[in-house]
């Protein structure tokens, strides 16, 4: 939860983006000063209007981000098609700016959300070539719940298989399990 307040300015300064780093730091100082002022005057209201929602929302966003990037291929973690998945034919896309087209977002983060379904159709061959995971009829939060419950077969059943030849259900489950394993980066020893 401190990433936005500490890691983001650090990253910005390290990359020479001083105005961005300063903006984040200024926002953080202002935000915490405001919280302190409000809490001293109205602690109950401040707790329930600002502090509790901050933690609940932060945890929900972290869970969503984890779930969207749970299927990273350990052999090719840099591939935009293998570090996330798409959720298609799901109602959530209509009210969350097509967030389910997450591979499309990674392939080109400047794609407008209204163009994502068409961009998916335009790049379906690339999805097939990369063996990207596309889940039909299942939203991101449902993916997270199934992952926590170990319902890999349910995920495999929702997998829109674009590969040729098509994966069996057992192969899909194994791919899911393989992509859930931690990725250990090899460091150069001195």
pLDDT tens digits for 140-190? 999 999 999 999 999 999 999 998 889 999 999 999 999 999 988 777 664
pLDDT higher than 90, residue 1: no
Q: Nearest CA to 144 among 52, 60, 54?
A: 60
The CB density around residue 156, as the number of other CB atoms within 10 Å, is 21
pLDDT tens, residue by residue, 57-105? 999 999 999 999 999 999 999 999 999 999 999 999 999 999 999 999 9
pTM of the predicted structure, to 2 decimals: 0.82
Maximum distance among all Cα pairs of the chain, rounded to whole angstroms: 66
Structure tokens at 188: 């150069």
Contact (CB, 8 A) for 121 and 162: no
The CB density around residue 126, as the number of other CB atoms within 10 Å, is 15
Structure tokens at 13: 């300064």
Q: How far apart are CA 81 and CA 72, in angstroms?
A: 9
Cis before 165 (ω within 30): yes
> 3-state DSSP helix/strand/coil percent for the chain, to nearest 5?
60, 5, 35
The CB density around residue 188, as the number of other CB atoms within 10 Å, is 4
Q: 3-class SS at 186?
A: coil
Contact (CB, 8 A) for 113 and 97: yes
């Amino acid at each position: 939860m401190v990433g936005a307040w500490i890691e983001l300015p650090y990253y910005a300064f390290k990359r020479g983006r001083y105005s961005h780093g300063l903006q984040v730091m200024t926002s953080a100082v202002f935000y915490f000063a405001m919280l302190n002022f409000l809490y001293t005057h109205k602690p109950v209201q401040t707790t329930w209007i600002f502090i509790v929602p901050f933690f609940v929302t932060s945890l929900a966003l972290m869970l969503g981000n984890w779930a969207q990037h749970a299927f990273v291929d350990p052999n090719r973690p840099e591939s935009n098609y293998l570090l996330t998945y798409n959720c298609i034919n799901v109602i959530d896309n209509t009210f969350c700016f097509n967030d389910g087209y997450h591979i499309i977002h990674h392939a080109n983060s400047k794609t407008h959300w209204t163009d994502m379904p068409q961009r998916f159709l335009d790049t379906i061959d690339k999805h097939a070539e990369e063996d990207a995971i596309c889940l039909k009829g299942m939203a991101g939060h449902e993916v997270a719940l199934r992952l926590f419950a170990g319902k890999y077969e349910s995920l495999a059943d929702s997998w829109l298989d674009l590969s040729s030849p098509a994966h069996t259900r057992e192969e899909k489950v194994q791919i899911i399990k393989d992509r859930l394993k931690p990725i250990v980066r090899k460091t150069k020893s001195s």
